């Protein structure tokens, strides 16, 4: 039976300060822990057994997901005290893997049809299939080159500018046969991207590439996290079916408040008069005082914003305090419990 394996052990360094207290797999995306998007994605392919590879703040993740039963899956966990790379993490779970496995990076938001990928993989009798997607700027990603038959001929992880020869990148989704575990060293760190795949290609292994055409966005940096948020609130990506939660009502005087149809507000928010919220997400129990503008931004739960503040294309962590008349310009990212004094500009 095919299982799914999610690489969720990274520290999310590029997403800091948001990930200082919240591991990247459960960072709230449209007020839903990100991992639920991946669980929902996997379930749609009929896969109900998921192995979650953890390392950084594992208890916080396990406490939310548990055994997975109430979300319709069986969740199993592996834990690395010392990171062993992406391939090493799969080797660590060797005793839980007995068949073809679909592997997903723990920071990819996509609606790629996994059933189509698996079918493609089986039809080509591949040992590994790498899902790739097209991007405008491939710098910073793994570049995948395939021949006319879809066989991978070159894999370059984070190429230099003069090495970029195409726009198809590694989408962070792989279908792997169990035989690949024999290629992974048990006693040293090893990654799919820098070690295993290049070595397999050089040795003539049957690795194929599947070009995905659906929605794809990683959430690995604040800017990309915002782009993923816009993908959801614009309707290009759907919210997962779980978790369902009963939210207390929000409170505002609707005749004096402008909240556009794209914005998402969790329960318990208090919105004072003459507030405008555009293309933004607010977590639960936020308090927005009069005269404030929030545009193209994400504000996590429990944050208070005093009168006449302006927040545009910014991300605020939990329980922040934004002073009266403060200005947060595009690119501002505040960690949990940040304090911005009155009339400050960030």
- Give catalytic residues, as residue numbers: 158
Concatenate the DSSP letters of all residues of 188-247 into one string: S---IIIIIHHHHHHTT--EEEEE--S-EEE-SSHHHHHHHHHHHHTTSSPPPS-----P
- Joined tokens for residue 231: 């993908």
Tell which residue, 127, 157, 161, 128, has the closest CA to residue 145. Answer: 157
Asked if 208 and 151 touch (Cβ cutoff 8 Å), the reply is yes
Asked if 299 and 282 touch (Cβ cutoff 8 Å), the reply is yes
C-alpha distance across the termini of the chain, in Å? 52
Cis peptide bond upstream of 17, omega within 30 = yes
Asked if 114 and 45 touch (Cβ cutoff 8 Å), the reply is yes
């Amino acid at each position: 039976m095919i299982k799914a394996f999610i690489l969720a052990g990274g520290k999310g360094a590029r997403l800091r300060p948001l990930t200082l207290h919240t591991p990247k797999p459960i960072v709230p995306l449209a007020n839903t822990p990100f991992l639920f998007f991946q669980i929902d994605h996997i379930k749609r392919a009929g896969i109900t057994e998921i192995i979650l590879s953890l390392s950084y703040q594992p208890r916080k993740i396990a406490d939310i997901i548990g055994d997975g039963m109430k979300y319709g899956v069986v969740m199993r966990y592996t834990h690395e005290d010392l990171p062993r790379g992406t391939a090493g993490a799969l080797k660590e779970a060797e005793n839980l893997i007995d068949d073809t496995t679909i592997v997903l990076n723990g920071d990819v938001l996509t609606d790629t049809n996994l059933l189509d990928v698996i079918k493609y993989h089986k039809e080509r009798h591949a040992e590994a299939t790498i899902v790739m997607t097209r991007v405008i700027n491939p710098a910073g990603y793994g570049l995948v080159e395939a021949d006319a038959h879809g066989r991978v001929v070159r894999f370059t992880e984070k190429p230099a500018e003069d090495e970029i020869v195409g726009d198809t990148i590694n989408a962070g989704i792989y279908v792997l046969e169990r035989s690949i575990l024999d290629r992974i060293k048990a006693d040293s760190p090893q990654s799919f991207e820098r070690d295993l795949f290049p070595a397999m290609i050089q040795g003539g292994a049957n690795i194929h590439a599947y070009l995905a055409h659906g929605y794809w966005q990683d959430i690995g940096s604040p800017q990309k996290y915002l782009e993923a948020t816009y993908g959801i609130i614009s309707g290009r990506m759907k919210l997962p079916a779980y978790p369902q939660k009963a939210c207390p009502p929000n409170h505002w005087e609707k005749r004096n408040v402008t909240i556009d149809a794209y914005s998402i507000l969790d329960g318990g928010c208090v919105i004072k008069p003459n507030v405008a919220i555009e293309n933004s997400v607010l977590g639960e129990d936020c308090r927005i005082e009069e005269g404030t503008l929030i545009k193209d931004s994400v504000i996590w739960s429990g944050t208070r914003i005093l009168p006449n503040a302006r927040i545009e294309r910014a991300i605020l962590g939990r329980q922040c305090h934004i002073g009266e008349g403060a200005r947060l310009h595009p690119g501002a990212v505040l960690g949990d419990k940040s304090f911005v004094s009155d009339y400050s500009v960030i």
